[in-house]
Amino acid sequence: MATSTKILALAVLAVLPLLMNASTCIGPQVTSNVYTTSEASMSISTVFVVEVAVKCNNGEKDLLLFADVNGHMVPATQSGTGKFQVSWSDEHKKLPAGTYGVRFFDEEGYNAVRKEKRSGTDGSTVTPIFTVNVKHSGTWTGPYVQTEFVATCVALLVWYMAYRSKSFLMS
């Protein structure tokens, strides 16, 4: 009796993974579109937007993705079938120019990262489904010298030349 119970339990455990609805993407083909803030004079913070289109070799469509953004795990918003979007923002100086690697995980990977972080590590040992490299060329803060200052200097220079000529004529 005890032996039959044990066999039944093992059989259920063996079949259970097949009955679960956990979706895993095998061999993902990823196309990404990235936007980063380029001008700081008209905005108060730098924004990163990453759009990915994922096609799985196993035909998986019901994906649930999470992205590791600067050490924080955020869910990726689904914007269409197989299309996901992640965005984040921060002050200009906290997001300088450079390449930012955004790791994408499925549900399993997300749980693994969370488990590692709870045990004190940063979760970097967990392998993501795919990684998107975001190249940020920095933000333009405006010209070093304001244009009205340049215009004022040129106008003053021309007037000064005229004033000198006038002084010479009046002497």
Partner 1 sequence: MASRKQKLTKEEELLLQDFSRNVSTKSSALFYGNSLIVSAIPLWLFWRIHQMDPYQSGILFAIMTAISTYLVSYAYRNVKFVLKHKVAVKREEAVTREVMKKVADDKKMSKKEKDERILWKKNEVADYEATTFSIFYNNALYLVLIILASFYVLRSLNPNVNYVLSVASASGLLALFSTSTK
The reply to whether 164 sits near partner 1 by the rule CB under 8 A is no
Residue number with CB closer to partner 1 (2 or 169): 169
Residue 148: CB minimum distance to partner 1, A:
4
Residue number with CB closer to partner 1 (31 or 152): 152
Give the closest residue to 106 by CA, choosing from 168, 22, 32: 22
Distance CA 76, CA 91 (A): 22
Distance CA 161, CA 58 (A): 78
The reply to whether 148 sits near partner 1 by the rule CB under 8 A is yes
The reply to whether 11 sits near partner 1 by the rule CB under 8 A is no
For 135, phi then psi, to 5°, come to -95, 120
The reply to whether 62 sits near partner 1 by the rule CB under 8 A is no
Residue number with CB closer to partner 1 (6 or 164): 164
End-to-end CA distance of the chain: 126
The reply to whether 150 sits near partner 1 by the rule CB under 8 A is no
